[in-house]
């Protein structure tokens, strides 16, 4: 378990979890890579920090799977940025992954509570 002072590294963050987090972030609207990473960081109160080495491969993988769509745009700083948005397929995937995640976290939480009591 990571403390609040140290952000979780990309190794600690499971690949499937990162995909879920990215899809969930894009649910609030289209964003470029840096925006996504900042939103994840801010949303997790600096606990999760996704570096470019994890973020961009994940974004490109999700784009290949057609869960997200990408489009080149010009930012406020007159910089060309690739903006990602959630597709209908991605929305369905997010719903499926989310319910799976909720089920798993519920089961694990149950196990964590049940195990000490069942011990002799």
Q: Give the whole-angstrom CA distance, residue 7 versus residue 50.
A: 9
Question: Interface with other proteins by CB under 8 A: which residues?
Answer: 32-34, 37, 51-54, 56-57, 60, 75, 77, 79-82
Residue closer to other proteins (CB basis): 53 or 116: 53
C-alpha dist (Å) from residue 11 to 46, 61, 105, 108, 109:
16, 17, 20, 21, 23
Please name the residue ranges forming H helices in the chain: 15-26, 33-43, 52-64, 88-118
- CA angle, residues 46, 87, 19, in degrees to nearest 5: 35
Q: In this complex, which beta carbon is closest to other proteins, that of residue 4 or of residue 113?
A: 4
The least CB distance from residue 81 to other proteins, in Å, is 5
> Least distance in Å: CB of 34 to other proteins?
4
Q: How far is the CB of 1 from other proteins (least distance, A)?
A: 22
Give 3 or 79: the residue with its C-beta nearer to other proteins.
79
């Amino acid at each position: 378990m990571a403390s609040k002072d140290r952000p979780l590294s990309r190794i600690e963050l499971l690949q499937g979890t990162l995909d879920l987090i990215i899809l969930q972030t894009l649910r609030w609207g289209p964003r470029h890579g840096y925006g996504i990473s900042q939103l994840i960081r801010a949303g997790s109160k600096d606990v999760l920090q996704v570096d470019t080495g994890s973020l961009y491969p994940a974004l490109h993988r999700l784009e290949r799977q057609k869960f997200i769509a990408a489009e080149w745009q010009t930012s406020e700083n007159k910089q060309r940025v690739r903006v990602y948005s959630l597709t209908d397929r991605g929305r369905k995937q997010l719903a499926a992954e989310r319910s799976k995640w909720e089920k798993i976290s519920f089961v694990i939480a149950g196990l964590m509570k049940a195990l000490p009591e069942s011990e002799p």
